[in-house]
A and B are shown apart, each in its own frame.
Chain A
């Protein structure tokens, strides 16, 4: 079978560190970054589109730094960093696992019902499933931006195109849906609808 390897998507891998952000044990006890830098843990084994603002920015070393810091090994994100970017297959929708605690559904309906209705939808499970499908589609198409990388993880905004219904039929509303990128294709919901794309 023909396999379409490309450099459109990458995974960040640190072969010397198997700790990932969504490791429950480490999360509970807050030891997740022990001996490792926060960024390297947050991005370890995560999938990113291979474009600026869609993957962690690598360290830019000046010629002077390279020449003067000969004691340190030049790494991807910092000196002596072991992270590497490896090419992966462009993820398909079935490769993505959404982690959506029940409270996220409740918050969506509690906070965004007028907005959902103004687009011609009802605040029901059908809209929720529609939104989840849109998130997965958009992420796989690389329609997202990195919002932040901290010790709390890699936060992204996924841009989802919502088709208007009823009197808004024919219009497209591009909304921001906020998620955390977890390892190996997992996305954890921060908030389903967090704003609109400019």
Chain B
């Protein structure tokens, strides 16, 4: 799980629903960095943008989603170099991907202690 991956929401949670984000919705991770064990995810109206659809199209929804509350449905092709260029101050210590049950940074350091327990 990383920048530009498409993700599906696995839970119903009032803290997401207040933004209009519901279980099974699919969005895209739009920030490289993980903050408070969450990625910022964008949910866009699939209606194509055009002059005709301008009035009807829904605004994008931006919401921070805890990594435990979503799963990847389509991986992006972002490389580690690309992730690094997108981290705040290009600081390699930022946590920026989820692999094998761990929240990791580009040095391979793990944030959670127990695999798949993302709050540990």
Residues of A at the B interface (CB closer than 8 Å) are 22, 24, 27-28, 30, 99, 101-104, 107, 111-112, 114-115, 118, 150-152, 155, 168, 173, 176, 178, 190-191, 194-196
A28 pairs with B95, CB closer than 8 A:
yes
Residue contacts A-B, CB under 8 angstroms, 5 given: A24-B91, A191-B30, A191-B60, A194-B59, A196-B54
A28 pairs with B59, CB closer than 8 A:
no
Residues A152 and B59 in contact in the complex (CB < 8 Å), given A103-B32, A107-B30, A114-B48: no
B95 pairs with A114, CB closer than 8 A:
no
Kindly provide the distance from the CB of A37 to the nearest chain B CB, expressed in whole angstroms: 15
Interface size class of B (residues with CB under 8 A): 35 or more
Kindly provide the distance from the CB of B110 to the nearest chain A CB, expressed in whole angstroms: 14
A28 pairs with B94, CB closer than 8 A:
yes
Interface 1/0 per residue, B39-61 and A, CB below 8 Å: 01010100011110011011110
Interface 1/0 per residue, B78-112 and A, CB below 8 Å: 00001001111101011100000000000000000
B61: nearest residue on chain A (CB-CB)? A194
SS class of chain B's interface: helix, strand, loop or mixed? loop
A102 pairs with B62, CB closer than 8 A:
no
B5 proximal to A (CB < 8 A) = no
A114 pairs with B50, CB closer than 8 A:
yes
A113: nearest residue on chain B (CB-CB)? B49
B35 pairs with A114, CB closer than 8 A:
no
B22 proximal to A (CB < 8 A) = no
Contact of A27 among B3, B86, B88 (CB under 8 A): B88
SS class of chain A's interface: helix, strand, loop or mixed? mixed
Ranked nearest first, the 8 interchain pairs of A and B with the lowest CB-CB distance are A195-B59, A115-B49, A194-B60, A101-B86, A103-B86, A114-B49, A118-B50, A118-B51
Please name all residues of chain B whose beta carbon is closer than 8 Å to the beta carbon of A178 when the two chains form the complex: 60, 62
A190 pairs with B30, CB closer than 8 A:
yes
B33 pairs with A27, CB closer than 8 A:
yes
Kindly provide the distance from the CB of A157 to the nearest chain B CB, expressed in whole angstroms: 9
Kindly provide the distance from the CB of B43 to the nearest chain A CB, expressed in whole angstroms: 11
Kindly provide the distance from the CB of A182 to the nearest chain B CB, expressed in whole angstroms: 10
A101 pairs with B95, CB closer than 8 A:
no
Instruction: Apart from A30-B37, A191-B62, list 13 A-B contacts with CB within 8 A.
Output: A28-B91, A28-B94, A30-B35, A101-B86, A101-B87, A103-B32, A103-B82, A112-B49, A118-B49, A155-B62, A178-B62, A194-B62, A195-B57
A27 pairs with B35, CB closer than 8 A:
yes
**A168 and B55 alpha carbons, distance in the complex (Å):** 15
B16 proximal to A (CB < 8 A) = no
A190: nearest residue on chain B (CB-CB)? B62
Task: Output the residue of B36, B38, B91 with the most chain A CB within 10 A.
Answer: B36
A195 pairs with B58, CB closer than 8 A:
yes
